[in-house]
């Protein structure tokens, strides 16, 4: 007597069936949170790249908050959230979107000791020295992604500088009148 192959490959036990129902409900909730975070990051990115208008600092704060919440809930991996925040902040810093505005969450002021101030100065000096050395090493080969990143950064800095010049000239014209 030939045995027929089983056609149903899914859950069989009551606990496994319940797990399936739970995972479907959780997936729906998690997808909403993940989609919201992705949308907020995209909006902040568009503002930083000049594709749309809006309040940049608020958009960046909302995007970072959404990523942090998704990572805290376990919807995305914490490293994934950190990577997305890093990429967003690279664009924001290149566009000088946060210059002159305070976005950070209010925290209790920390008292700095003389040793920590000295250590901070040393860190800054080392960072400046390494940045200067990297700037001098122009003969090193760059990847296509690195070249593109440099081009985007340069273009966004130039456009931000042009906006600042236009803004300062407008303020100068209004004060002369």
The count of structural domains within the chain is 2
CB atoms under 10 Å from CB of 72, counted, come to 11
Please say which residue of 76, 100, 124 terminates a domain: 100
Whether residue 110 lies inside any domain: the answer is no
Whether residue 67 lies inside any domain: the answer is yes
How far apart, in whole angstroms, are the C-alpha atoms of residue 75 and residue 29? 10
How far apart, in whole angstroms, are the C-alpha atoms of residue 2 and residue 5? 10
* Confidence bin at 108 (pLDDT 50/70/90): low
What is the span of the domain harbouring residue 153?
Answer: 142-177
- 34-91 pLDDT, tens per residue? 999 999 999 999 999 889 888 989 999 999 999 999 999 999 999 999 999 999 999 9
Whether residue 107 lies inside any domain: the answer is no
Whether residue 123 lies inside any domain: the answer is no
pTM: 0.53
Would you say 139 and 95 are in contact if contact means Cβ atoms under 8 Å apart?
no
């Amino acid at each position: 007597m030939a045995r027929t192959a089983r056609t149903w490959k899914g859950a069989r036990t009551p606990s496994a069936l319940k797990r399936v129902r739970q995972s479907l409900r959780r997936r729906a909730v998690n997808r909403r949170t993940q989609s919201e975070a992705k949308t907020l990051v995209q909006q902040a990115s568009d503002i930083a790249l000049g594709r749309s208008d809006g309040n940049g600092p608020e958009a960046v704060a909302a995007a970072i908050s959404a990523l942090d919440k998704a990572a805290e809930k376990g919807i995305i991996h914490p490293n994934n959230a950190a990577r997305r925040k890093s990429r967003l902040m690279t664009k924001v810093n290149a566009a000088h979107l946060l210059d002159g505005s305070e976005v950070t969450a209010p925290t209790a002021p920390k008292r700095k000791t003389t040793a920590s101030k000295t250590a901070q100065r040393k860190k800054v000096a080392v960072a400046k020295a390494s940045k200067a050395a990297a700037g001098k090493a122009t003969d090193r080969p760059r990847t296509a992604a690195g070249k593109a990143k440099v081009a985007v950064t340069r273009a966004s800095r130039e456009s931000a500088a042009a906006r600042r010049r236009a803004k300062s000239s407008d303020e100068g014209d209004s004060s002369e009148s």
